[in-house]
Amino acid sequence: MKIKSLHTVVFIFSMVFLNLLKVDPAMAFQQADSSVTTTDTLQNVGFMPDSLISLRVDSLLNARFSQLDSLAQELKSEAGSGESDTTKFSTESEKAIAELENVISWPKVVLIILFFIITYYFTSFLSKILDNFSERISKYRLKIKRMVPIARVVIWTIAIYIAIAGIIQPPYATIITVMASVGIAVGLAAQDVLKNLFGGIMLILDRPFQVGDKIQFMEHYGEVQQIGLRSSRIVTPGDSVVTIPNGELIRTAVSNANTGALDCLVITNIYLPAECPIEEVKQIAYKAVVSSKYVYMKKPISIMTENEMHHRRFVLKLKVKAYVLDIRYEFPFQSDVTELILTELRERNILKDETFGVVKK
C-alpha cells in the first residue's frame, strides 16, 4: 500500500513537471519507446515502476533540452550575423569618412578659398578695365559693357570647374552623391536665391535689356549699370543706385527706352498758353532741336501739339520728339531744347503769361 502511494505521488509530481514544461502528457507517452506499452498496461492496474517513470522524465527533459539547445544556436547565429552586419556597416562608414577626409582636407580647403579670392579680384579688375575702356571709346561703349556679365559668368564657371576637377578631384560616385544632397538642401532652403540666380541667367540669355539701356521698372527709371547673377543695378537720374533682384525683373514688366541702341528717343513736353500761334511755335521748336549739340540728325524729328485742361484753363502742350546721340544725353537734351524754345518765345513776345511749364518725359 505504501509502495502504491509512493508511485502515485511520483506520478502526480511528474505530471506537474510536464505541465510546467508545457508538454502534452499524451503526446509524451505516444513518443516514448516500446516500453510505453508495458507502462500503459501497468498503469491500468494501478502499478508503475519507478524506473519507467524516471525513463519518461529523462526522455522528455532530453527532448526539451535539445529544443532549447537548437533555439540557442539559432539565436547565436542570428546575433553573429547581426554583429557581422554591424561590423560591415561600421567598416563602410569608416571607409567613407576616410575617403571624404582624403577628398576634402584642410590644405585643399585653404587652397580653394585662396583660389576663389584670386578669382573674385581678377573678375573685378577685368570689369573695371572693360568699363574704363568703354568710356574712352563712346562708339562701342555699350558693346564693351555688355561683355562684362558674360565674362563674369564664364570666369566663375571655369573657376568652379578647376576647383572641383583640379583641386578636390573627387570620385564620380562622390560627385553624384554630393550633387544630389546639395540639390535637395538648396532646393528646400534657398528657393529665393535659386530664383534670382536662374533669373540672372535668363536675363543674360534672353536679353530683355542690356547694360547701358534705359529701363523703367515700376517706379524706378535709369540706366542699367550691372547685370549680376543675383541682382541687377540701375542708376537713376538723381545718381542713386537701385539694386533689383533678378527674379523680380523676370516676373515684372520692364520698359526699355533704347533696346540696345546707343541712340535713344527723347520726348520733351512744354506747356504754353492756348492763344499761342501754333505754326510759329512749331517752327521755333524745330529750330531749337536742330540747334542742340546732343541731337542725332539721322533719326526723324517730330513736333506735335495737344490741347489740355489745367487748373480750369486750356493750355497748349508742345510735344517735341527727337533722338539723342547717346542715351546719356537724354536729360541734357531736354534742358537744352526747353531753354532754347522758351528764350525764343520770350524774345518774340509770344509768352505773356506765366502759365507755361517745363519738361517731363
Grid cell 502526480 in the structure block, residue: 12
Task: Specify whether the CB–CB gap between 298 and 261 falls below 8 A.
Answer: no
User: Which of 103, 129, 162 is the C-terminal boundary of a domain?
Assistant: 103
The whole-number pLDDT of residue 32 equals 46
pLDDT of residue 118: 92
Is 52 a domain residue? yes
Query: Is 133 among the domain residues?
Result: no
Element of type H or E holding 223: strand 220-227
Whole-angstrom Cα Rg for the chain? 48
Query: What confidence score (pLDDT) does residue 54 get?
Result: 65
**What confidence score (pLDDT) does residue 321 get?**
92
- Show the domain range for 283: 264-347
321 touches 276 (CB < 8 A) = no
Give the 3-state secondary structure of residue 170.
coil
In a domain, 108, yes or no: no
pLDDT per residue rounded down to tens, the chain (361 residues): 444 444 454 455 555 454 544 445 555 445 444 444 444 444 444 444 556 666 666 676 677 667 767 777 776 666 555 555 555 545 655 665 566 666 667 788 888 899 999 998 998 888 888 888 877 776 777 778 778 888 888 898 898 888 888 887 777 766 676 667 666 666 665 667 777 888 888 888 888 888 888 899 888 898 888 888 788 889 888 888 899 998 888 888 888 888 878 888 899 998 888 888 888 889 999 999 998 889 988 888 899 888 887 777 888 888 999 999 888 888 899 999 999 998 888 888 887 655 444 443 4
What is the structure's pLDDT at 75?
A: 67
Q: Residues 54, 35: contact at Cβ < 8 Å? A: no
Q: In what order do the strands lie in the sheet with 313-324?
A: 264-273, 313-324, 302-310
The verdict on residue 220 lying in a domain is no
Q: Could you identify the residue written with the cell 572641383?
A: 164
In a domain, 357, yes or no: no
For residue 53, what are the CA distances in angstroms to 5, 14, 47?
14, 8, 11
288 within a domain of the structure (yes/no): yes
Rounded distance between C-alpha atoms, residue 54 and residue 60, angstroms: 10
Which CATH number belongs to the domain containing residue 277 in this structure? 3.30.70.100
Q: Name, in order, each residue with C-beta under 8 angstroms of 191's C-beta and a sequence gap of 6 or more.
A: none
Chosen domain end from 35, 70, 103 = 103
Q: Give the residue among 304, 306, 338, 296 at the shortest CA–CA distance from 320.
A: 304
Chain centroid offset of residue 72 CA: 56
Say what the pLDDT of residue 323 is: 92
Which of 65, 83, 103 corresponds to the end of one domain? Answer: 103
Task: Report if residue 66 sits inside a domain.
Answer: yes
What single string gives the DSSP state of each residue in 301-349? -EEEEEEEEETTEEEEEEEEEEEESSGGGHHHHHHHHHHHHHHHHHHTT
pLDDT of residue 33: 45
Residue 249 lies in a domain: no
Residue 255's DSSP bridge partners are 216
Q: Give the DSSP letter string of 26-69.
A: HHHHHTS-THHHHHHHHHHTT---HHHHHHHHHHHHHHHHHHHH
Looking at the 3D structure of the chain, how many domains does it have?
2
Sign of CA dihedral 25, 27, 33, 34: positive
